[in-house]
Structure formats: structure tokens, C-alpha cells
């Protein structure tokens, strides 16, 4: 089955840039979606199709996807960005939704 690998945690200083990676075999050939989940809340879609922001998501959020790594980039980190972030793809070979293990972003 297809596996997505994320670092368990990423830290960023306020105002700096955070990069959260999502590794998968030839993930560049797939569409990657990203979700933000704050404590006690449902996940929210913050990036789809690698680098397309849904309506209402700040321009500080951007994405890329190439080779074996997709990346969610958050510029000008703020305290409100502290959350768990999950990448997700559709694995057409098994018809499965696949999530990465999640990355806890800390702004300190």
C-alpha cells in the first residue's frame, strides 16, 4: 500500500518560514492535499492539488510537489498557525485515501 511520511514535528520562530514535508514514492505524479487541524477541531483543507489555496486560506500558505516529496510552506509564521498538518493523496492502484502521519507545527 502507498505510504506517506511526514516529520512528527516542525518548529518555526514567529515571522519565519515553516516547511512541512510529505514523502512518498513518486508522489510528484499524484495530487497532494493538505489539512490543518487545531486541538478539538475538525480538519480544514488548506491546500489542494499541490499548490492551490482554497478560498479563505491566506497567501502565506503555499505548496509544491516534485519527485518523492511534497511540501507545505507557511511564510511569516503566526501563533494561529500552530496545529497538526496532514498530507493526503488518492492511491488509484488500491482505490484508497491515504493520509500522512501528521506533523505538529509549533511557533515559538
Partner 1 sequence: EVQLLESGGGLIQPGGSLRLSCAASGFTFSTFAMTWVRQAPGKGLEWVSSISNIGDSTHYGDSVKGRFTISRDNSKNTVYLQMNSLRAEDTAVYYCAKMAWDIILIIPYGQLDYWGQGTRVTVSS
By the criterion CB under 8 A, which residues form the site for partner 1? 1, 31, 33, 35, 37, 42-45, 48-49, 54, 84, 86, 88, 90, 92, 95-102
The answer for residues whose C-beta is within 8 angstroms of residue 101's C-beta and 6 or more apart is 4, 5, 6, 8
* Closer to partner 1 by Cβ: residue 15 or 26: 26
CA distance 43 to 84: 9
Decide: 103 and 7 in contact? Cβ < 8 Å: yes
* Closer to partner 1 by Cβ: residue 49 or 66: 49
Q: How far is the CB of 14 from partner 1 (least distance, A)?
A: 26
In 3-state terms, what secondary structure has residue 89? strand
* Closer to partner 1 by Cβ: residue 13 or 49: 49
Amino acid at each position: 500500500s502507498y505510504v506517506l511520511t511526514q516529520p512528527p514535528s516542525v518548529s518555526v520562530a514567529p515571522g519565519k518560514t515553516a516547511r512541512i514535508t510529505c514523502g512518498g514514492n513518486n508522489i510528484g505524479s499524484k495530487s497532494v492535499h493538505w489539512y490543518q487541524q487545531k486541538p478539538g477541531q475538525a480538519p480544514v483543507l488548506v491546500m489542494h492539488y499541490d499548490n492551490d489555496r482554497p478560498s479563505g486560506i491566506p497567501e502565506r500558505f503555499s505548496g509544491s510537489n516534485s519527485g518523492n516529496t511534497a511540501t507545505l510552506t507557511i511564510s511569516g509564521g503566526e501563533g494561529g498557525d500552530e496545529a497538526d498538518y496532514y498530507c493526503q493523496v488518492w492511491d488509484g492502484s488500491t482505490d484508497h485515501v491515504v493520509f500522512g502521519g501528521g506533523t505538529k507545527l509549533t511557533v515559538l
